[in-house]
Every structure is written in structure tokens, then in C-alpha cells.
Chain A
Amino acid sequence: MSDLAQAHSVVAPSTTTRRIAGALVITYALITMIPLLWIVATSFKTPPDSIAYPPKIVFTPSLEGYVNLFTTRTRQSPEVLATLPPPTAWYDKLVRSRNMVIAGPSNVIPRFVNSIIIAFGSTFLAVFLGTLSAYGFSRFRVPLKDDLLFFILSTRMMPPIAVAIPIYLMYRELGLTDTKLGMILLYTAVNVSLAVWLLKGFIDEIPREYEEAAMIDGYTRLQAFRKAVLPQAATGIAATAIFCLIFAWNEYAFAVLLTSGNAQTMPPFIPFIIGEGGQDWPAVAAATTLFVIPILVFTILLRKHLLRGITFGAVRK
């Protein structure tokens, strides 16, 4: 499409230049993808294959990593194993072939559920509060508007560790330590700054005439907001929500300092997936793969808004 236009421009790079540029960028992209592909590959290896040297690029795929991720197992002596009824399910057989029996489910599902509840809960709240505030800042004369907006942004500059101590103490007083509610509130507070800045940008772009027309038609301010502004801002709200979701999904520092079991999310949990005699890398890779998939989907959905999101909307594309 733009090829035609560029053909007329004096400054369009030549085909050769473009090819070289393309080759270099693709090389970088492929190199950068290697660790990710390696995670996925490792998740389908057996533990011995995963630590083989030289690293195995060709291997027989196995679901052992995933089985190990979802179960806890105990090692049994051959005599004990002989007394047990033969395994029926494929995962029983897999575990039995390593002289182990499944003792029960692992903690991974509760941790995953925690991640989902905390990420979605805080995203919903942050986007809700953010939309209201962004509309407020965009449309009303708010005293000290610039200072308030900067204050909102500056909260994001704080190192998590710096506020973790008093939050820990405060949560201990309030009984919020290691609770999902506590983590939701915390992530909401961290995300709301991003939500306000991003959404203000989106709402600023919606012409005021929409609401003015709606209000002339007899709608109240709130109705106009709901019926004229929200539908227009829907794309922006969705993009903001995904950014908040990604942050809450990936957050580690607060999670590791403020949760221990009940409200623990995936990021602090994954490194502590231990197998027999050290880290069970296929299981870690399986957890990482499952954990990363939603983010990959979101990244692709978000690609048009990425720049805005990562710069708080300070730079637009």
C-alpha cells in the first residue's frame, strides 16, 4: 500500500537497504525468541533430557513436566510398588515408570487461581476508578489539576520495596496480610496511576460535542457519560485493562514480600517448584509456559497501544 507512495518520495529507502534492514531485524527477533522457544521445548522434555549436554534440540516429547507440575509424588521402593494395583491412567504410568506414585495435587492450581482473581480483581477496580478519574480530569476544572495528575504519576516512581515495609505493617494491623483482598487493593493502587494517565489521553480525544449533544437532548451529566463517552472510550478502556492485567499478572516484589501461601500468586511460586534432587526444570518450564501464554495473546491484541501504555500515554503513536 505505502510502496506506491514511497516510490514517489525522494527519501524512500532503496529495496536493497530495506532488505538488509529486514534481515538484521529478523535476525535479532529470532535470537531474542530463543529463550522463549527453549522454555516451551523444555516443558516437553523429561528431566534427564532437560539437563543433557549438549542441550537436546531434538528430543522425544513428554508430558512429564506438566504431570510433575500438577502433582506431588512420593518415591517408593520396588517392593512397595509391586504390591500396588497396576496404573491405569497415562499420568499414573508415567509417574510409576520413575518409581514414584502420585500423592496428590500440587499447589499450582490454587496459585494460578490466586493470580487470576488478584489480576482480574485489581484490573477491574483500577480501570473503574481510572475511568472515572480520567473523565473527571479530562472534562472538569479541577483545582490543582496538574499537581494532582503528577501526584498520581509519582506514586508509580516509588520502589515497591520502599513502601512494602509499612504496607506489611499496615496489613498486619488490618488482618490483610496474605489475603487476596489485600493484594487486589495494593495492585489497584499501583495500576490506577497508569489507568488515569492512559484513559485521560483516550478520553481527551473524544470530542466534547458528543456529551454536549446528549445533554441538550435531556440527559444528565452521568447519563451522558455513560451513553456518549463510555462507548467511545471502549477501545481505550480495553487496552488500559490489558496493561493493568499484565502488570498485576507479572508482579513479583509485593507478592514475594506480602504473601506466603493463601494469597500467593504464580511469580513467587514458580521458582520454588522443586523436583527430586534439585529444581525440576521441565515442571518449571511447564508452569512458565502456561503462565506466559495469556500474556502472549494480550501482547498481540495490544500491539497498537503498546507505546502509549508503556509510557503512561506520554507518547502517542
Chain B
Amino acid sequence: MSEASTSLKLADRAARVTPDGVAKPIRGLSDRAIAWFFIGPTILLLLAINIFPLIWTIYLSFTNYRANKPNADVKMVGLQWYQKILTDSDVWLAMQTTAHFVVWTIVVETVLGFGLAWLIDKKFRGHGIWTTVILIPMMLSPAVIGNFWTFLYQPQSGLFNYGVSFLTGIDPSSFQMLGSVTLSPWAIVIVDAWMWTPYVMLICLAGLRSIPDYIYEAAEVDRASPWRQFWSITVPMALPFIMLAVLFRGIENFKMFDMVNLLTGGGPGSTTEVVSITLKRQAFESWRTGYSSALAIILFVTVFGLANIYVKALNRVKQR
């Protein structure tokens, strides 16, 4: 816990931050009371709506409770669900699908996002306006936009297929982005990249802007080639920021639900069934509350665990 907390502080410091706790305490008897009065309600709300449900989920994961049969006897079943999930090939498949999405979206978004940030950092005329334009998709609702992309992906009338056929000459009705087993995962990656590349770009841009000019000036004096400057200064100095972007995107995409649910609903077959979709099916369609609670805990622990491992790596990069 403290590991991740220190790393967040590091992330904080990476971009010159207000030092914490440097100011002297202010006199006044009631300050302690005021502090709790200020912080208490937030903590209570989070306990009630986040921690209590989480603890309840843990409890439910050991029972055979079904939310659609609230009056049935609840029996403790021990670790049965966990055992079942960890040996269930469908769950492993969903985990793999999720991992594929996480990896591919990160690769595409990082390459595009860093490239864009690098270009914008050249400060061409009007870069401010165009940066704002690029940022728009990221602010929209993934669900609403995802839904509209099903329209863009229509094989008969969709703009996407038309565009592809316009550029490549392939018959537009010969491929179905959302209906084909091979293409549907890519359909989601494309929409995700469309929405979230700006996010990576923004963080990378902050990284690039944090590199002081004098380093480049020194390199210039040393007659380092632009190529050399890019790989020896730009990339390493922006790396903590790139990794931060990857961390945030990774956590978000591990939970990916909105877009997948509306674009493909997990289909065709189960080619795009990510863990969140499995979870929703088990919890709210099959009403296997105990089973889905166990899966929720496994998902949560995975996100948390991976984030912590990654954060350690992030720290190492920063301490270099």
C-alpha cells in the first residue's frame, strides 16, 4: 500500500510539486477537531460506498448466495468459487482477451501518443488549438461513442468500411469489423485508440515540456546528432511520464467495460469477452452472485497487484 503511495508522490515530484508538510502547524485549539470535521465526511462516504461493498463482495464470494433469490438459505461454500474460477478455461480465456486488449491498446496509444506529443512540442503555429481539438474524443462518453461506432462499422453503409475500401479498393461488404472473429478485437482497439491516444499524448507532452532546454543546448554544443539527442535525452527523460500514462491506461483498460459492452457485447462468440463482460454476465444475467463476487475480487486483486509491481518499476526508472 505504502509502496504505491510513495510512488504516487514520486509521480507528483516528477513534475515539480509543492513539498508536503513543510509549513508549520497553525496554533488554535480546535484545529484537530476541524481537521476531522473536514475530512471525516469524505472518509465516511468512501467507507459506505466503496469499502463496505468491497468487504461485502469478499463475504459473498464465500457463499452460494444468488441475488435473484434473496430469501433462499445462504450457505458458506468456502473457496469453492475461487477454485472453480482459477480452473475455468473460459475465465482464463477472458483474462487472455483482456490482456491482449491492454497490451495492444497500450502499444498503439503510446506510439501514436508519444509521436503526436513530440510533434506538438515543436511548437508549430496554432499548436494550442489543434491540441485542444485532438483532446476532444477523450472527454466523451465511451459508451455513447462506442455505440455510435457500431454505426460507423456497418459493413453495408458504415463510413469506416467505405473509407477502407476507398483507400485500398477492398470490397466494403466483404469484411465485418464487428461480426468477424478476427476483426472484432481490432474494431475495439481502433475505437479505444481513437479515444485514448490523446490521453497518452497529453501526459507525454508534459514529460517533453519538463526537459530543460539547456540539456539540448549542451548536446548541441557537443555536436550530438538529432537522432542521438532523441534517444539519449528525449526518450529517457520522458520515460517516467510515458510509464505513468501506460500505468493509468493499463488500469483503466483492465476494467474495460463500456465500449466492449456496446460495440460487441463480448461477441462474436466470445472473441471480445473481457473479464468485465464475463463478470456482468455472471452477476446480472446468470445471477451467480457468489461466483461473480469471487471473480470481482480476483479482478480487483489483479489490477491492484499489477499496478503495484509496475509502480515499483516506475520508481526504479525515476531514481535513475
Contact = CB atoms under 8 A, between A and B. Distances in A.
Range, interface on chain A: 35 or more
B156 A311 contact: no
A249 B143 CA distance: 11
Interface string B35-56: 1111101110110111111101
Contact of A129 (B41, B70, B152): B41
Contacts of A204: 17-18, 20
A133 B39 contact: yes
Interface in A260-300: 266-268, 270-271, 279, 281, 284-285, 288, 291-292, 295-296, 298-300
Interface in A98-129: 129
A252 B141 contact: yes
B34 to A, nearest CB: 6
B227 to A, nearest CB: 14
Contact of B130 (A25, A34, A250): A25
A162 B39 contact: no
A314 B258 contact: no
For chain B, what secondary structure do more than half of its interface residues adopt (helix, strand, loop), or is it mixed?
helix
A53 B124 contact: no
Nearest to B19: A204
B148 A140 contact: no
B302 to A, nearest CB: 10
A162 B296 contact: yes
15 contacts: A18-B125, A33-B136, A132-B42, A141-B25, A154-B4, A155-B46, A158-B300, A159-B279, A192-B45, A204-B17, A250-B141, A256-B143, A257-B280, A288-B144, A303-B128
Interface of B: 1-2, 4-6, 8-9, 11-12, 14-18, 20-21, 23, 25-26, 28, 30-32, 34-39, 41-43, 45-46, 48-54, 56-57, 60, 67, 70, 112, 116, 119-120, 122-128, 130-145, 147-149, 151-152, 154, 156-159, 162, 172, 194, 197-199, 202-203, 205-206, 209, 213, 216-217, 220-221, 241, 244, 248, 251, 254-255, 257-258, 261-262, 276, 279-280, 283-284, 289, 292-293, 296-297, 299-300, 303-304, 307
Contacts of A19: 124
Contacts of B251: 157
